[in-house]
Amino acid sequence: MSDKRVYSDNPRVLAVQTLAKIKNGAYSNLQLNQVIKQHQLSEADKRLLTTLVYGVIQHRMTFEYWLAPFVGDKKIDAWVRELLYSAIFQMKFLDKIPEHAIFNESIEVAKILGHVGTGKYVTAILHNIGRQGLRNISEIKEPIQRLSIERSLPIWLIETLISQNGEEATRAMLETINDAPKQSIRVNTTLASDEEVEQALAAEKFTTVKSRVAAHAYIVSGGHVASSKAFHDGLLTLQDESAMLPVESMRLTENVKTILDAAAAPGGKTTQIAQSVGENVTITALDIHEHKIKLIQSNAERLHVTEKIRTRVLDARKVPTEIEQKFDRILVDAPCSGFGLLRRKPEIRYDKTLTDVENLAHLQFEILDSVSQNVTDNGMIVYSTCTILRQENDDVITKFLLKHSDFELVPTQTSKNLKPNRSEDVLHVYPNDYQTDGFFVATLQKKMSTDNV
Ligand SMILES: C[S@@+](CC[C@H](N)C(=O)[O-])C[C@H]1O[C@@H](n2cnc3c(N)ncnc32)[C@H](O)[C@@H]1O
């Protein structure tokens, strides 16, 4: 990062500073939220900042490939690299900004964050790019390597996806992987009807489109919904449409009285369960991290559903030894690699490795294995992840069923009956199916024990 301590409300300066921090290990969504909170930015500037940050992260490998011939072996500061990437991003992906404006603004940022010399260096590189153009990715002969540079995804991930889904399906999936994520909301049905939320958002100049994926869900455009009055009044919450599916598949009938949410923070699904059940139902919501438990509580408070939720800091693997109670339903929305969220958290692709995926699969199995001891006869476990890799999805379920003949897989059902003609009981939602996050949902039912038959 530049040694200079610069305070600026210029969205291009902020984008470069934010990108350098993310390159250093910060999470994109947290870092961006913090910057937006700390600075007085217009809606247009917030949009530009967000677009630049996500755009550069999403296309980082493509930009490295394009910039390499212009930089050669010269060592340049990390922030200068981020600045050049954000200039290339604007040239290639944002048609509304003319090239001379991109050059001028970028050179200005170089001078603000660096010095006159940095300004000259950035000017020279950008003018060379302007004169010579960027090299064509189709020159890369090896198809997987070409796809890797084109979509900015590591080779191991592409190879894994191809081995699990075939080349055609993988290419179709990767086609949309760098699209902007949609903003979707869930209506808090304890406080308002769908129509009331539609009207409240329309009154604040938002546009809503009913979801075709989940019930009580809308895709919203026209600004940040989290800044709306409707959000502050608890009439709605932000949640991806596919993230609503695990709770939809829990079959929360009137007979269900006790529910465990084994990995609950920040409480998106706990609060969804709470609004889907009657007054006399209790939900025990666990998370291993104390600071995250507070997030469940504050979400529950904002949505007015605290009465039904008991939170507890606990490693879900300790459930059988720490909790005697049996539950009619258990949700294991497992910690996972998050490869279904590539649009929303684009840096995941560079941070997570195949070893991480294998370690997570082990943890997921352990959690599932442990909590299964606390399910009532005929009770159910819904297992879900926001990843698209089989190691953490189908393979965990297969391993679980091999060990637990007292459980069976039953069809995962959703309110909109998604993928009705699929041949499997589990539900895979890929990011290109409905332009949502990728998700996996499996529904396991505990068989009636023979003692009770
Ligand atoms: C995918 S997130 C859950 C998201 C949440 N269900 C929601 O909808 O808002 C997984 C959560 O599992 C928690 N976690 C990780 N390991 C755990 C463990 N061994 N026991 C309980 N929670 C764990 C993480 O802290 C994280 O909050």
| pLDDT tens, position by position, 77-118 | 999 999 999 999 999 999 888 889 999 999 999 999 998 899
The answer to whether residues 269 and 309 belong to one domain is yes
Q: HEC profile for 359-387?
A: HHHHHHHHHHHHHHHHEEEEEEEEEEECC
The answer to whether residues 98 and 211 belong to one domain is no
**pLDDT at site 96:** 82
CATH number at residue 190: 3.30.70.1170
Q: Is the pLDDT of residue 13 over 90?
A: yes
**CA–CA dist 351, 395 (Å, integer):** 23
The H or E element containing residue 66 is helix 60-71
Q: Would residue 4 count as lying in a domain?
A: no
Q: Is the pLDDT of residue 65 over 70?
A: yes
Last residue in a domain, options 175, 197, 230: 175
Q: Would residue 116 count as lying in a domain?
A: yes
Give percent above pLDDT 70 in the chain.
Answer: 98
Token pair belonging to 15: 């984008």
**pLDDT at site 188:** 98
Q: Is the pLDDT of residue 74 over 90?
A: no
The answer to whether residues 196 and 327 belong to one domain is no
* pLDDT bucket at 4, cuts 50 / 70 / 90: low
Q: Based on the number of CB atoms within 10 Å of its own CB, is 291 exposed (0-12), middle (13-18) or buried (19 or more)?
A: exposed
Token pair belonging to 111: 């001078």
Which one is predicted more confidently, 25 or 289?
Answer: 289
Q: Would residue 6 count as lying in a domain?
A: no
CATH number at residue 251: 3.40.50.150
Q: Is the pLDDT of residue 453 over 60?
A: no
* pLDDT bucket at 25, cuts 50 / 70 / 90: confident
Q: Would residue 126 count as lying in a domain?
A: yes
Q: Whose CA is nearest to atom 15 of ligand 1?
A: 335
Token pair belonging to 83: 């600045």
**CA–CA dist 301, 278 (Å, integer):** 18
- The predicted-structure confidence for 43-55, as pLDDT tens digits, reads as follows 889 989 999 999 9
**pLDDT at site 229:** 97
**pLDDT at site 3:** 53
- Opening angle at CA 241, ends 397 and 284, nearest 5: 60
Q: Would residue 5 count as lying in a domain?
A: no
**pLDDT at site 418:** 98
Q: Are strands 258-261 and 207-210 parallel, antiparallel or unpaired?
A: unpaired
Annotated catalytic residue within 157, 220, 381, 386:
386
DSSP state of 77: -
**pLDDT at site 29:** 85
The answer to whether residues 212 and 64 belong to one domain is no
The answer to whether residues 414 and 343 belong to one domain is yes
Q: Is the CB of 267 under 6 A from ligand 1?
A: yes
**pLDDT at site 452:** 54
**CA–CA dist 157, 209 (Å, integer):** 33
The answer to whether residues 198 and 287 belong to one domain is no
The answer to whether residues 371 and 271 belong to one domain is yes
The H or E element containing residue 178 is none
- The predicted-structure confidence for 300-351, as pLDDT tens digits, reads as follows 999 999 999 999 999 999 999 999 999 999 999 999 999 999 998 999 999 9
* pLDDT bucket at 2, cuts 50 / 70 / 90: low
CATH number at residue 26: 1.10.940.10
The answer to whether residues 103 and 194 belong to one domain is no
**pLDDT at site 22:** 92
Token pair belonging to 444: 């396991």
The answer to whether residues 129 and 143 belong to one domain is no
Q: Would residue 96 count as lying in a domain?
A: yes
Look at the chain and report how many structural domains it folds into.
4
- Residues with Cβ within 8 Å of 61's Cβ and at least 6 positions away in sequence, in order, are 148, 149, 152, 153
The answer to whether residues 225 and 268 belong to one domain is no
Average pLDDT, the chain: 95
Q: Is the CB of 273 under 6 A from ligand 1?
A: no
Q: Is the CB of 286 under 6 A from ligand 1?
A: yes
Q: Would residue 3 count as lying in a domain?
A: no
Query: Domain range holding 210?
Result: 184-238
Report how far ligand 1's centroid is from the alpha carbon of 122 (Å): 44
Contact 225, 208 (CB under 8 A): no
* pLDDT bucket at 390, cuts 50 / 70 / 90: very high
**pLDDT at site 451:** 63
Last residue in a domain, options 238, 269, 284: 238
Q: Is the CB of 315 under 6 A from ligand 1?
A: yes
Phi/psi at 311 (5° precision): -100, 155
- Residue 266 assigned as binding residue: yes
Handedness of CA 130, 131, 132, 133 (dihedral sign): positive
Q: Would residue 199 count as lying in a domain?
A: yes
Whether the ipTM is more than 0.90: the answer is yes
Q: Is the pLDDT of residue 436 over 70?
A: yes
The answer to whether residues 17 and 142 belong to one domain is no
The answer to whether residues 65 and 126 belong to one domain is yes
